[in-house]
Amino acid sequence: MLKKQTLVDLFYKRTHELFSEYLSCYDTTLLYQKAAELNIDTKKHILIALITIRSQADLQLLNLHLHRLVSDIKSVFSSKAPVVYGFDTKVTIVFTLDPYEKHHAIIKQLEDLLSKWRYYNECHVKTGIGSRYSHFTQIGKSYSEAEKAVSYLLSQQQDGCMLYEEIGINRLFINQSKEEVKTFIDEVFLPLKNNHSNDEPLEQTLEAYFDNNRSASLTAKQLHIHVNTLYQRLKKIEGKMNISFTNSEHLLKVQLACYLKKFHYS
């Protein structure tokens, strides 16, 4: 068993080296050659998935988990995943699809497989999936996106599967530390935290205003106040924050702070 596992490790190491060479290659002729070595059909569309595994188990057992997961993925997807290998605590998958073939069904299959696998093996699994591309030379782009999707899950301390295309505006903050994001939020809201009037919760008013897409009537209704009272508060907010809601740059900055506070620190 141990000898077989060592042989598989050597195969994974060689595949990892080949794939790394592919990712760092920019010569089209060489890319065709390396694609052939990796059994990638250059006429098909491509999609990259990266899976990271974390477990309380020792390294040898974790390695065994990795081998089993790769084996399960190969048995489910067979020819649709010409490249599947484990290296360190990560599984790399290259999916190839016919141009007319829907990729969401494959992603759903992968999610179902990982959900069951995570349950039975008691591991933390984070999966990032890059965008689908029509040309094999764009594998590097899909791979980079899959890495960013995994980074997003790590930053949110979440398990599960994340498609790069679904990260949305959060793509801008993947490489920002939580401390940097929190500092930005605190700096924006600081002028309102100095408000000592308990009957005028300006911070809450500002958040409600953007939650309701800057609709005065809906915001007033949510806060149970008269519209005129809302306008008075908004005027005070502008004064305290030294901004104008008619200035697009000010508006974007404050709206972004409200968004980050709600979805990253709520």
- Count Cβ atoms below 10 Å from residue 110 Cβ, excluding itself: 21
Average pLDDT over residues 172-181: 80
Q: Give the sign of the dihedral formed by CA 18, CA 20, CA 23, CA 28.
A: negative
pLDDT (0 to 100) of residue 3: 52
- On whether the CB atoms of residues 55 and 65 are closer than 8 A, the answer is yes
Task: State the Cα–Cα distance between residues 161 and 87, nearest whole angstrom.
Answer: 19
Is the model's pLDDT at 254 over the cut of 70? yes
Domain 178-264 has CATH 3.40.50.80: no
Instruction: Report the half-sphere exposure of 50 (CA within 13 A, side-chain side).
Output: 25
Mean predicted confidence (pLDDT) in 214-230: 94
- The DSSP-derived string for 29-95 is HHHHHHHHHTT--TTSEEEEEEEEEE-SS-HHHHHHHHHHHHHHHHHHHGGG-SEEEEETTEEEEEE
168 has a pLDDT exceeding 90:
no
State yes or no: pLDDT of 115 exceeds 70: yes
Mean pLDDT of the chain: 89
Residues of the chain with CATH 1.10.10.2840: 178-264
Average pLDDT over residues 103-132: 91
CB atoms within 10 A of CB 198: 6
Residue 126 has pLDDT above 90, yes or no: yes
**Phi-psi category of residue 88: left, alpha or beta, with phi > 0 → left and psi -120 to 50 → alpha:** left
Topology adopted by domain 2-173: Alpha-Beta Plaits (3.30.70)
Mean pLDDT of 73-92: 93
Q: What is the dihedral of CA 31, 35, 38, 44, to 10 degrees?
A: 150
Write out the residue limits of the CATH 3.30.70.270 domain(s) in the chain: 2-173
Q: How far apart are CA 94 and CA 85, in angstroms?
A: 10
